[in-house]
Structure 1
Amino acid sequence: MSETKQVLEILVVNHKEGEETAHLFDPTEITIGRKGDNTLVLPSGSVSSHHARIFLKEGKLYVEDLGSTNGTL
């Protein structure tokens, strides 16, 4: 019997341009920030270099702010 692979879809909305882009990730851990070494790169001045991470623990998704300047909602 094959295992079902979990996938996390994140929808990024650019309010200035009115664009929406869907990104698919392995939900084990995703880092978000402005720098190129993040899993999800958001090139915006309001996003810190290493802004936040999303991770899966015991079947639940968590969001952790990584000390960003503007915070994470």
Structure 2
Amino acid sequence: MAQCEVCRQTLVARGDALNCPACVQDYREQAQCPDCGQPLDILKVCGAVDYFCPHGDGLIAKKRVTLSFVPR
């Protein structure tokens, strides 16, 4: 379960974001490259979702993507 960076409370899903009910901080999910740690571009076409690293690592398999939660 994801936790708030500020108060360490469990985050609650609200729409396309996560929210901390204790300190009212909103978070969004961010995909990161497992090789360089930089944010990935998300490509959505015809229902498929692919991940692309604009920093030189090219297409990244979904199994290798690291997901994190960053403040909005």
Q: TM-score range by the shorter chain?
A: under 0.3
Higher relative contact order (CA 8 A, sep 6+): 2
TM-score by length of 1: 0.28
TM-score by length of 2: 0.28
Q: Which has the larger helix fraction?
A: 2
